[in-house]
Amino acid sequence: MSAAPLFLRDPRDVGGPAQPLLDVRDLRKHFPIRGGALQRVVAKVHAVDGVSFSVMKGETLGIVGESGCGKSTLARLLMRLVEPDSGEQVFDGEEVGSARGISVAGLRRQVQMVFQDSASSLNPRMPVQGSVAFGPRAHGMGPAESVALARELLQQVGLNPALFGPRYPHELSGGQKQRVNIARALALRPRMVILDEAVSALDKSVEAQVLNLLRSLKQQMNLTYIFISHDLSVVRWISDRVMVMYLGEVVEIGPAEQIYTAPRHPYTRALLASRPSMDPDHRLEEPPVTGDPPNPVNPPAGCRFHTRCPHAEAVCSARAPRLGLTQGARDHHAACHLHDPASGHSLAMVRH
């Protein structure tokens, strides 16, 4: 498990470094709510509603948003633990689930996930090295060999395999359990790891250790991360690009530094303003959003943020803005009428 030299290309790398590792187009998942004696569908939760983005090879894409904005559903959709209603997902040039592309099982060998709840994501009746070894074992590796690999991985995530390998999950602390979860995610040598609130439940000091671990593992194993969190500071620290979600939609996506220093969408600004400032001189003047996000069962018409937006006008409730390139920045997209000169919004194109 030595660090692969950069010039040595991964044989699984099909399209070369310029091709995105993951390309998602218009992914959609509405969960039906059933009611009444006949269990008919009475409403739908718009959990993920037309999300498109791409992840370049070797980068970390951070995904932020309030609880209930569809971050975790998106993660499960990407792993196909939940079947999407519509949309396409292309992994390194191969469409997932189509006859000519990559199968779901094939995708799962290359994309792995670390769950938020470190306790419930480990089988309580299996020693942790068994949990780590399960993936390789299920793919035909011998019992002794897979346990040896599991112990090697435990070592790599900073757990003494002789001491921790045979233990059961309840004998480990939260941070140790999350290290085991990371080891399990790495057991199949994936190219991409989805970290769904992977450090959110940990103490701050343990969180920092695990974040450092994630960063060094990424270098050693040439990984690509999707890092989902509600902690804006952590996302800024670890991410190359950041995607902001609101009520199942992408409202802004761009390089991390730009998102944090020059946010374009009013929601992003409000989100950033809501976090306690480290430096009184750089305090954002935008007021934080008030109230709760609207019910995703009945999302507002037009722009979904218009009910809480300080710049809302008639056009905002009439038409939904498209995710478009914003002016003066490369690769920085926002879905807001303010940044579309043709939108008819009175403040459109005014510098903010």
Which residue ranges make up the site for another protein (CB under 8 A)?
A: 76, 79, 81, 104-109, 112-113, 115-117, 120-127, 131, 134-135, 138-139, 157-160, 163, 166-168, 170, 176, 181, 184, 187-188, 209, 212-213, 216, 219
CB of 49 to another protein, least distance (A): 22
d(CA 325, CA 334): 7
CB of 61 to another protein, least distance (A): 19
d(CA 63, CA 71): 7
Q: Which of 76, 50, 74, 79 is nearest to 62 (CA)?
A: 74
Instruction: Choose between 73 and 268: whose C-beta lies nearer to another protein.
Output: 73
Instruction: Choose between 13 and 117: whose C-beta lies nearer to another protein.
Output: 117
Count Cα atoms within 13 angstroms, Cβ side, for 112. Answer: 19
Q: Which of 111, 114, 126 is nearest to 157 (CA)?
A: 114
Instruction: Choose between 21 and 128: whose C-beta lies nearer to another protein.
Output: 128
CB of 297 to another protein, least distance (A): 21
Instruction: Choose between 197 and 252: whose C-beta lies nearer to another protein.
Output: 197
CB neighbour burial string for 75-102, b if at least 16 within 10 angstroms, e if fewer: bbbbbbebebbebbbbbbebebeeeebb
Instruction: Choose between 179 and 308: whose C-beta lies nearer to another protein.
Output: 179
DSSP 125-137: TS-HHHHHHHHHH
CB of 230 to another protein, least distance (A): 18
CB of 76 to another protein, least distance (A): 7
d(CA 73, CA 70): 5
Q: Which of 99, 88, 91 is nearest to 22 (CA)?
A: 91
